[in-house]
Amino acid sequence: MPKKAIIPIQIPMEQPDCCARCPLIGLIPKNQRQPGVRQSYVCLGVLGEALPSKGIWSSAAEAKAKKRKLHRPCDTRWDAWAQLPGRKFGMSYAHYLQYRLPYEQGNQLIIKFKK
């Protein structure tokens, strides 16, 4: 049975308010980060765009209200992604395992057991 090379990721109809809520955000593994650099996230839709830890929580609505410019790597591409058949973005299986899965697991509720 062949391995899957592409995983279809469901894209919301509207662009999320902040990158942290986007299904295309991923966590850069510690061994790939440069020491002293705060960029620890990556946009998997626009691979190669590292994002700062504080930057993924920046709200587009808040930036607009404060008349601040908010640059997100996907701003120019989101409309095209929303037009994909079934709004499914094809993500590489390797990138999903390397970047997206650790991000999803890091957001899981941690259960503490009493000893």
Look up the domain containing 95 and give its range.
6-106
Share of the chain above pLDDT 70, in %: 97
Q: Does the residue 14 lie in any domain?
A: yes
Q: Say if pTM beats, i.e. exceeds, 0.85.
A: no
Q: Does the residue 54 lie in any domain?
A: yes
- Residue 33's pLDDT is 85
Q: Does the residue 111 lie in any domain?
A: no
- Residue 76's pLDDT is 87
Q: Does the residue 80 lie in any domain?
A: yes
Q: Does the residue 16 lie in any domain?
A: yes
Alpha helix positions (H), 15-111: 60-65, 78-82, 93-95, 101-106
| First-last CA distance in the chain | 44
Band of residue 3 on the pLDDT scale cut at 50, 70, 90: low
Q: Does the residue 33 lie in any domain?
A: yes
Question: For the chain, how many structural domains are there in total?
Answer: 1
pLDDT for residue 88 is more than 90: yes
* Mean of per-residue pLDDT scores for the chain: 85
